[in-house]
Amino acid sequence: MIDTDELDEKFSIEGEVGFAELEEDLIFITVSNKYADADICLYGAHVTSFRPRNAIDLLWLSPDSFFEEGKPIRGGIPVCFPWFGPHKTDSDQPQHGFARLMYWDVLETAVRPNCETLIRLQLNSSDKTKAYWPCDFHAEMIITIGLTLTVALKMTNTSAEPFEYGCALHSYYNLSAIENMSVEGLQGTAYYNQLSAENGVQEEDFLQIQGAFTRHYLDTETPVVIADSIFHRRIKVNKSGSKVTTVWNPGQEACANIVDLPDDGYETFVCVEATNAFGYEIQLAPGESYETSAIIGLEE
């Protein structure tokens, strides 16, 4: 059992970082600084909210999400590891791996000289993780809250053998409506269309979504902008350590069959994800580390 009083005593920062049971007794880190407010659930190392000053939340969280052990949180920034999507050989394994289904430990909280807030969480290999995946590892989620939100997954191979893993920072972005949204920055990029199992190249300057949509844009590290004409804002999504950009919206029919989404949930979010999969998985030798990050903020 996690003791919030103990966490407060060890890691809270007066007026800036605290701990609270916010949703169905799950423990969250709450951050408030001069730049923004943010909520981070220890279950899954899951950022559920990032609210810059004088702005509505950049992230979308499902009102029907489960907040209980054994089920992932729907919305925010789920951490997918050590695979993305379904397991390649075992359909009984959890979608997107096990990292979002486990409690992470707090490693550090700090205020940087520029007044940004730093949160570091960790997950180490254990008998529990080895029930899903046999490798020894040390994982860190390094979260920085400032004018931008930086979320980095740092993976270290602590075993005696090399291993391969896939991952994603599966970010859900808050929209006025899907028809008011366009994504800029993907023109000329090759993609794999998961719904049709076909490859293509985006010709349009601005990606607009009508209906179910799952594309994995390959061999790209280019930043994108999510423009919303009604919210009058442009969310810039940068990344590093990721060679695939996934864009996803379930559309009306699929959304109605996803139990932790309201039937109309598809209308108010789009996922733009920093991904390593589809031939771009990460190879780590013993002792090596690799970091995948997403940097999210309002374009000025």
| pLDDT tens-digit map of 199-211 | 999 999 999 999 9
Q: What is the CA radius of gyration of the chain?
A: 18
Active site residue 288: no
> For tokens 């979320």, what's the residue?
151
Q: With a cut of 50, which residues of the chain have pLDDT below it? A: none
Note whether 56 and 45 are within 8 A (CB).
Answer: no
The pLDDT value recorded for residue 2 is: 77
The residues near 92 (Cβ < 8 Å, ≥ 6 apart) are none
Active site residue 273: yes
List the beta bridge partners of residue 215: 193, 247
Note whether 136 and 127 are within 8 A (CB).
Answer: no
Instruction: Pull the structure tokens for residue 269.
Output: 């979010």
How many other β-carbons are positioned within 10 Å of the β-carbon of residue 20?
Answer: 14
Query: Which of 273, 288, 299, 300 does the annotation list as catalytic?
Result: 273
The pLDDT value recorded for residue 271 is: 98
Instruction: Pull the structure tokens for residue 277.
Output: 């999969």
CA atoms of 257 and 241, how far apart (whole Å): 33
Domain 4-298 coded CATH 2.70.98.10:
yes
The pLDDT value recorded for residue 22 is: 79
Minimal CA–CA distance to 277: which of 96, 123, 107?
96
Query: Which of 23, 46, 116, 170 does the annotation list as catalytic?
Result: 170
Instruction: Pull the structure tokens for residue 215.
Output: 């594309």
Residue 40, CA atoms < 13 Å, CB-side half-sphere = 30
Q: What is the pLDDT of residues 108-152, one digit of tens each?
A: 999 999 999 999 999 999 999 999 999 999 999 999 999 999 999
In the three-class reduction of DSSP (H, G, I as helix; E, B as strand; rest coil), residue 5 is classed as helix
The pLDDT value recorded for residue 1 is: 63
